């Protein structure tokens, strides 16, 4: 069911009774739609809000996979619309955002408007509605580089990578004290935060806004820091897509996936159905009042970007990846999450193994091209 409520003044949206009523912003999107499916399958009552931004959607109508849900077409920055939608809602699951590194600094106003101003409007509306529970889609990008260990100096923050090192094929960061190459370690949630892109800066700002709201109102927030999410319904053929989608698009066109650096960048690739599961667990378990609790959302089974490209090429029966060197300015070398807090506080353990998830992704439906 699709509702156009931007100009509707009847107030509220009719709904069926479920265990918990959840408003999912960005509910027609890649992750939001899977969250909606998981919550519905668990007996909860969901309503989706989505602006169907052209960078994420191929048309003005919601995608077919949202047909089982009630969806409202509107913008999270519309406070009057939110005032109507939040009536009777128990939890907000905030997935709406402009994603990706961004093409260049001219993207910054759009990122800040949708991600940060949109979050501020939502939090204000939640306060007006007396609603105190938020599940926030955050990201691993708030960490910048991951955690690194020097055998002489322990855990250190690495020196920034020099362009001369990248040009010479020296990709691993070095110790700021002795200059030695560093080894990666798993990143805990209390690691220093150092966003490296416009998108990353807006995701960290979302966390700060939500934390301030929680302290001021006594509300509770889970900030789910997604690592590299992949799976069905990803957008494709867009500069804002994730690396898995870019590889899959190349293979679909008969081309070899292009891997930057030496392909040894370490990441944690987590299947979107696992991300939906952890969102459902967060909806069902409020954290302490007045607190924002950050949680890494990951598989716990890291792999290199090169491994992903090789595995996907094999699953698609396509050409082997091309490793081309170089690096994008906002790229980081290794980011590998510590999954223990998610297990301890939410009882979450990823269910989809890497090989099975990649094999499924090789033939999974993706969104049509949407941006040029």
Q: For residue 237, what pLDDT is reported?
A: 66
Answer left, alpha or beta for residue 212, where phi above 0 means left and psi between -120 and 50 means alpha: alpha
Q: For residue 216, what pLDDT is reported?
A: 98
Q: Does 286 share its domain with 350?
A: yes
* DSSP 3-state of 271: strand
Tell me whether residue 198 is in a domain. yes
Percent of the chain, pLDDT > 90?
78
Q: For residue 236, what pLDDT is reported?
A: 75
Q: For residue 354, what pLDDT is reported?
A: 97
DSSP string of 128-140, one letter each residue: HHT--EEEEEEEG
Tell me the mean pLDDT in the region 127-139: 98
DSSP string of 10-67, one letter each residue: S-S------SSEEEEETTTSHHHHHHHHHHHHTT-EEEEEE---TTT-SSSSPPGGGT
Q: Does 131 share its domain with 151?
A: no
Residues 6+ apart with CB under 8 A from 199: 98, 99, 100, 101, 102, 111, 115, 139, 141
Q: When comparing pLDDT for 53 and 128, which is higher? A: 128
Q: Does 103 share its domain with 204?
A: yes
Tokens standing for 177? 């004290």
Q: Does 27 share its domain with 175?
A: no
Answer left, alpha or beta for residue 263, where phi above 0 means left and psi between -120 and 50 means alpha: left
Q: What is the pLDDT of residues 140-180, one digit of tens each?
A: 999 999 999 999 999 999 988 888 888 999 999 999 999 99
Closest CA to 279 of 206, 225, 211: 225
Looking at the 3D structure of the chain, how many domains does it have? Answer: 2
Q: What is the pLDDT of residues 185-243, one digit of tens each?
A: 999 999 999 998 899 999 999 999 999 999 999 999 999 999 999 999 988 766 556 88
Residues 6+ apart with CB under 8 A from 165: 171
Q: Does 178 share its domain with 191?
A: no
- Stated pTM of the model: 0.92
Q: Does 336 share its domain with 269?
A: yes
Q: Does 44 share its domain with 156?
A: no
Q: For residue 161, what pLDDT is reported?
A: 84
Q: For residue 372, what pLDDT is reported?
A: 39
Tokens standing for 286? 């409020």
Pick from 131, 156, 186: which residue ends a domain? 186
17: pLDDT strictly greater than 70: no
- Distance between CA atoms of 274 and 272, rounded to whole angstroms? 5
Q: For residue 160, what pLDDT is reported?
A: 82
Q: Does 250 share its domain with 123?
A: yes
- Distance between CA atoms of 216 and 205, rounded to whole angstroms? 16
Q: For residue 104, what pLDDT is reported?
A: 79
Report, in this order, helix, strand and coil percent for the chain, each rounded to 5: 35, 20, 45
Pick from 132, 158, 186: which residue ends a domain? 186
Q: Does 166 share its domain with 109?
A: no
- Distance between CA atoms of 357 and 345, rounded to whole angstroms? 25
- Domain containing 167 equals 147-186
Phi, psi of 223 (to 5 degrees): -100, 100
Q: How is residue 285 annotated by DSSP?
A: S
- In sequence order, the β-bridge partners of residue 105 are none
Tell me whether residue 13 is in a domain. no
């Amino acid at each position: 069911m699709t509702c156009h409520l931007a100009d509707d003044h009847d107030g509220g949206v009719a709904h069926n009774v479920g265990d918990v009523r959840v408003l999912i912003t960005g509910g027609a999107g890649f992750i939001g739609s899977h969250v909606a499916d998981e919550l519905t399958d668990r007996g909860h009552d969901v309503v989706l809000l989505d602006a169907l931004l052209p960078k994420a959607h191929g048309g003005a109508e919601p995608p077919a996979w949202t047909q089982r849900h009630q969806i409202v077409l509107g913008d999270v920055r519309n406070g009057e619309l939110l005032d109507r939608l939040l009536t009777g809602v128990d939890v907000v699951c905030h997935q709406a955002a402009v994603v990706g590194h961004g093409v260049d600094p001219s993207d910054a106003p759009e990122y800040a408007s949708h991600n940060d101003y949109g979050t501020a409007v939502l939090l204000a509306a939640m306060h007006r509605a007396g609603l105190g529970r938020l599940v926030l889609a955050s990201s691993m990008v708030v960490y910048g580089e991951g955690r690194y260990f020097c055998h002489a100096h322990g855990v250190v923050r690495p020196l920034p990578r020099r362009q001369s090192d990248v040009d010479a094929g020296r990709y691993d960061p070095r110790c700021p004290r002795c200059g030695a190459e560093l080894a990666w370690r798993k990143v805990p949630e209390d690691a220093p935060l150092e966003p490296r892109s416009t998108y990353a800066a807006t995701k960290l700002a979302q966390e700060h806004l939500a934390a301030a709201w929680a302290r001021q109102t006594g509300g509770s927030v889970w900030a789910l820091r997604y690592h590299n999410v992949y799976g069905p319904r990803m957008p494709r053929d867009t500069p804002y897509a994730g690396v898995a989608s870019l590889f899959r698009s190349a293979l679909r066109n008969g081309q070899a996936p292009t891997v930057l650096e030496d392909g040894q960048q370490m990441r944690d690739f987590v299947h979107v159905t696992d991300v939906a599961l952890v969102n459902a667990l967060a909806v069902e378990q409020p954290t302490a009042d007045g607190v924002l609790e950050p949680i890494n959302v990951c598989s716990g089974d890291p792999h290199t970007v090169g491994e992903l490209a090789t595995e996907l090429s094999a699953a698609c029966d396509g050409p082997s990846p091309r490793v081309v060197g170089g690096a994008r300015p906002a790229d980081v070398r290794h980011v590998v999450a510590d999954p223990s807090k998610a297990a301890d506080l939410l009882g979450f353990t990823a269910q989809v193994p890497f090989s099975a998830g990649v094999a499924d992704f090789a033939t999974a439906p993706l969104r049509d091209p949407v941006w040029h």
